[in-house]
Chains A and B, each alone.
Chain A
Amino acid sequence: MTGPQPARPVPPCARCKCSPGTVTGRNDPLCSTCFISYARSKPIKRMDPFRVRNNPTNAPPPLLLLPFSFGVSSLTLLHILKEHMSSQRTRVGRTGYGLLVVWVDDSGISGDGPGSVRKKETFMGLESHFGGEGSGITFKSVQLEDIYTYSQPQGAPTSSAEGTNLEKLRVLISSLPSLSSKQDILTTLLTRLFIRLAIQHSSPAILFSHSTTRLAEKTLSETAKGRGYSVPWSTSDCTIPLPPSQFPHRKLQTIYPLRDLLKKELHTYLSLTPSLQPFHIPSSSSSSATPSPQSIIPISTAKDTSIDSLMHQYFSQMEQTYPSIVANVVKTIGRVPAPTHLVALAEVAAEVEQSVPNCAVCGFPIDIDEADVWEEEDRDVKKLSVGVLSELGVGVEELCGGCRRSLEGAKEGVGARWPL
């Protein structure tokens, strides 16, 4: 990807024309300086709502939540934004925003104890490297099971037998029928935890570090999980449709600053930024592909994979040969509008204290046109038992199609509780 070619003359950088183009950009050879400035320009454009001049002089800058995972994407995003804030400070003497970097430790579920220890240490190192007095960046780590601290007290009666939050989370996840369901619900919980944290810290926006590749992957995997209706919300810069009955007049934005950069470009960025590399902990869960020989894009033929990891694998291959097609998928889905008129309706409904059609599990609005169809299918199939739902404390009419699917076939009688 990088590095000079031995013996062969290096072409000049396509931008500055003077330095050697040792880095392959999307199309052209670039020098490392020009590549870095290309890679920074795109996310910074996405941060336009948080320019210095948008923030009054006497007000503290808004604190934006940045989910952090030690992967190449969130690490790169943190670095780019830190540099952005520094340049704001140099130019105007103050910044347009501050950052709340949040790492969610899921080792209670993944069982990766040693990994968790390493991440804790690395996170502290990260804090002393990036944070500190005047940096405008604060660091916070929480446990995934903390999602249970947001449980509504008016739910089904809580018995002491339910145990700790970690035990509750373990029971919930192990009650799920398949790897696809588990991964889907874990991602949902993580997203909802970030939303709760953002609300708790009065943050106006969450900065997700998904790359183009990751967003294309997410688009197709949400589609395959029957979550098409919420895809515009879960893949685009938008206002999250919070249930107004629960969060009246609360606006929370999502921004995907890295949506115009491929995963491989982020890897290049990391390789050109040695100071970042000690904080990079690649995820170990990359499933090994068993490509069928004739496919254009090799796809795992294993049965015991999940929809998410299948898509991950597909697009990792795709971005190597067809990066523009990957980018075009994201551009295309970005043009599918979220049904914001429905959210407006829901807000009106909340003011007259009617129930709002948000899914109890994923939190996104339910497609009322589609609800009947799922309902009908379910009536015949009865895979989603009444017992499971009452244990979870979720009504069947409070579920979107995608969540319904992930809960189908869940174990009954184990006492799984939905945290929110």
Chain B
Amino acid sequence: MTARPQRRPACLQCPSPAKIKRPKNGHALCIAHFLSTFETEVLQTMETSGLFSRGETIAIGASGGKDSTVLASVLSTLNTRHNLGLNLHLLSIDEGIVGYRDHSLATVQRNARQYGLPLTVLSYRELYGWTMDDVVATVGKKSNCTYCGVFRRQALDRGCEMLNISHVVTGHNADDMAETVLMNLLRGDLPRLARCTAITTRSSSSSSSSSDASATVRRSKPLKYAYQKEIVLYAHHRKLDYFTTECTYAPEAFRGSARDLVKALERVRPTAIMDILRSGEAFAGLLRPTDGNRTLVPPQKCAEKECTCNEEDSLGTCSSTSFASGEGAMHIHEAQLRNLHHHHHHHHTTETPSPSSPSPKNPTAKRKQQLLRSCTQCGYLTSQDLCQACVMLQSLNRSRPAVMVQIEHDG
């Protein structure tokens, strides 16, 4: 190659011309150094938070989309390059969305072959007897994210239990985290605000067979500090095979509005995504109990436990780019807050209702003790008799005959 004078600045780390201006910090880098920097930063995130230990088996929640594909690629690259000694396992959930999941699953299968990783696919139909398409046909598109979130969350846990894996990683990126921080502020959800930026959360796993009710599956987000734009760049320049078509279901209103806001903020100041994340981490620190006597985060109210808009499982089916629909949740929340205001006009309580609980709860109801036990239906750890998924399934199954009748009428 002949060197010719050019105005392009050199890569920050080598003499070659820079090809990429990093969305995260504006750094000019050549492609090779962009890729290695991206990987190194994920490694640093893993190391500083002590995410994995040698010999650990990790399930990668793989949807075939860009985030989880990049996650699988980076983890398997780092595992080999730095000899981390991790056993990686792809775990995919088939929600049953025709035209979306069937194609993306094919992508996951190709990825599994390419990286030489074992793959397990679990379907909603197997797990719940319902596909997401069936759910949407029954409840409409307005609350589908609610169902999908709860179902998928449990599905990953159950998959991990089947595979005897206690740690699952998901492809949530910095944009998702920032969006969630703003969303929890908008919804006034303090408990979630306190935990939504944690890199690792524990979730209750099914304990149907084992007597060890404290068995939990850890969930981690190694791409927590990675910008979505850089994930796309990484996938592009590594020529990764991922599924680009986004799910057609609109996100829940608060998430949609928070997403608009994050995108607008990023345009104004690209570091805003990182800064929101830092602020979210600061809130978490401020809300952490400082001593045994004081709990700064109010205990979750019973209504809040039923809030099913799941911040941790919003990927894939909820990353639609159209926010025209799904305004319902905001209207419902507004109405609930107004009712509460009326109700409590002469009281001194400041309790807020669950932003998206489908049925209005009596806000004065005493808080129930947060004792975890097994769901009487399926054994999943829950604080109620039935876990969220089983409650939803019950109401879905109640409406199934009606749908059948309707179909007969139509036909």
Contacts and interface: CB of A to CB of B under 8 A. Distances in A.
Interface of A: 26-27, 178, 180, 219-220, 222-229, 231-232, 292, 294-297, 299-301, 303, 305-307, 310, 314, 321-325, 327-329, 331-333, 335-339, 341, 367, 369-370, 373-374, 377, 380-381, 383, 401-402, 405, 408
Contact of A180 (B268, B298, B342, B350): B268
Given A296-B256, A328-B188, A224 B265 contact: yes
B77 interface: no
Kindly name the residue among B278, B283, B337 whose own CB sees the greatest number of chain A CB atoms within 10 A: B278
Contact of A325 (B256, B265, B330): B330
Nearest to B298: A335
User: Which 4 residue pairs spanning A and B have beta carbons closest together?
Assistant: A228-B279, A226-B275, A324-B337, A228-B282
Given A27-B342, A229-B286, A296-B327, A178 B269 contact: yes
A333 B185 contact: yes
Contacts, number: 157
A325 B260 contact: no
**Chain B contact patch, size range:** 35 or more
A294 B322 contact: yes
A287 B246 CA distance: 34
B264 A220 contact: no
B20 interface: no
Contact of A224 (B189, B253, B272, B333): B272
A299 B282 CA distance: 26
B287 A336 contact: yes
Interface string B273-288: 0111011111101110
Interface of B: 25-27, 181-182, 185-190, 193, 253, 256-257, 260-261, 264-265, 267-269, 271-272, 274-276, 278-283, 285-287, 290, 296, 298, 322-324, 327, 330, 333-334, 337-338, 341-342, 350, 352
Given A294-B322, A294-B323, A303 B267 contact: yes
A249 to B, nearest CB: 25
A332 B352 contact: yes
A372 to B, nearest CB: 10
Nearest to B294: A337
8 contacts: A224-B272, A226-B279, A296-B253, A307-B272, A332-B185, A338-B286, A339-B286, A370-B285
A337 B286 contact: yes
B277 to A, nearest CB: 9
B188 A299 contact: no
Given A27-B338, A299-B260, A324-B334, 17 more contacts: A26-B341, A219-B185, A226-B278, A228-B282, A229-B285, A294-B322, A296-B323, A297-B257, A299-B261, A301-B267, A310-B264, A324-B338, A329-B185, A331-B350, A339-B286, A370-B282, A377-B274
